[in-house]
Homo-oligomer: A and B are copies of this chain.
């Protein structure tokens, strides 16, 4: 069932917010999609690209009469955002988000919304290292997963609405406890980002030591390219994700450090059998990543 909205407000019309606007427009799921953001040029681009019908700078005005509000700004701005417009929301309005962290953020967001509106946290796993509405597409979510994170307070009707929205966008929708979400994504997404960012800065240090005639980084093959691709992700966005998932991420980096030290110890000891066993286990696990 395709949900129908009278008035949708998208706060933050970047890659994800903009692409969701394109989905809403293409499937005619909303009478009006209004974009709210800081930068006029970006909002104009979003309008030109068919992500929104119109835009306003004043969020309090933009969300008034909305039956769906999509919060698609960096996760660290939610609290400030809600202070600007939560009081303007109509009774029964569904508020959802697209943030990459959930646990404490969902708890905090629920506590800042008035009781007559319904919050449903959502996390479309569809980022890329590109940002901005210009990189957006109504097909961005096709074939991806979207995790929605209901709590004891979540209205079943609002949950159904948000589920349908993402299904219409082409995602496979899964529900998960917000705190479990942060453990799962901490492992499969935040930890790999920590690994890639740190590998890149380590290579920067090694470049200063090893001085070939050309750039050290120019010698990398496909392995270097792939392993470090996500180190090009937005520093502002990932700073916030890491800090909102701090406790899980710190513990997980510790686990990774232990495995790396074990790898190093096997190399240092010249333990061929141990090293091959470790690598074979890694290969076997990797075969389950799709």
Q: A residues near B, CB below 8 A?
A: 125-128, 144-145, 147, 174, 176, 180, 183-185, 187-189, 191-207, 210, 212, 214-233, 235-236, 238-240, 242-243, 246, 249-250, 252-264, 267-268, 270, 272, 275-283, 285-290
State the main secondary structure of chain A at its contact with B.
Answer: helix
- A201-B281, A221-B126 as given contacts; A268 in contact with B246, CB under 8 Å: yes
Name the B residues within 8 Å of A287 (CB-CB): 232
Contact partner, A285, options B193, B200, B240, B258, Cβ 8 Å: B200
Using A189-B221, A215-B288, A229-B286 as known contacts, list a sample of 13 further A-B pairs with CB atoms less than 8 Å apart, ordered by residue number in A: A145-B221, A184-B216, A199-B256, A200-B281, A202-B252, A202-B260, A223-B229, A226-B229, A231-B279, A231-B282, A232-B287, A250-B264, A250-B268
A263 to B236 CA separation, bound complex (whole angstroms) = 15
Contact sample, A vs B, 9 pairs, CB 8 Å cutoff: A127-B223, A180-B210, A187-B203, A188-B221, A194-B267, A195-B227, A202-B255, A205-B255, A232-B283
Q: How far is the CA of A228 from the CA of B201 in the complex (A)?
A: 18
A35 to chain B, nearest CB (A): 25
Contact in complex: B270, A246 (CB < 8 Å): yes
Q: Oligomeric state, in number of copies?
A: 2
A283 engages B233 (CB within 8 Å): yes
Contact A199/B207 with A264-B254, A285-B231 known, Cβ cut-off 8 Å: no
Q: Is the CB of A286 within 8 A of B231?
A: yes
Q: Are B279 and A239 in contact (CB under 8 A)?
A: yes
The CA of A35 and the CA of B225, in the complex, are separated in Å by 33
Cβ contacts under 8 Å, A180 to chain B: 210, 212
Q: Is the CB of A197 within 8 A of B279?
A: yes
- Assess the A183–B210 pair: CB atoms within 8 A: yes
Would you call B259 and A201 a contact (CB within 8 A)? Answer: yes
**C-alpha gap A164/B272 in the complex (Å):** 36
Which A-B residue pairs are the 3 nearest by beta carbons?
Answer: A235-B279, A200-B282, A188-B220
Contact check, B224 vs A188: say whether CB atoms are below 8 A apart.
yes
Q: Does B275 lie within 8 Å of A239, measured CB to CB? A: yes
Chain B residues closer than 8 Å to A196, beta-carbon distance: 223, 227, 282
Chain B residues in 8 Å Cβ range of A199:
191-192, 195, 256, 259
Please indicate which of the listed interface residues A176, A216, A222, A233 has the most CB atoms of chain B within 10 Å of its own CB.
A222
In the complex, chain B residues whose CB is within 8 Å of the CB of A144: 221
Cβ of A206: which chain B residues have Cβ within 8 Å of it? 187, 191, 252, 255
| Chain B residues within 8 Å of A227, by CB | 192, 195-196, 226-227, 229-230
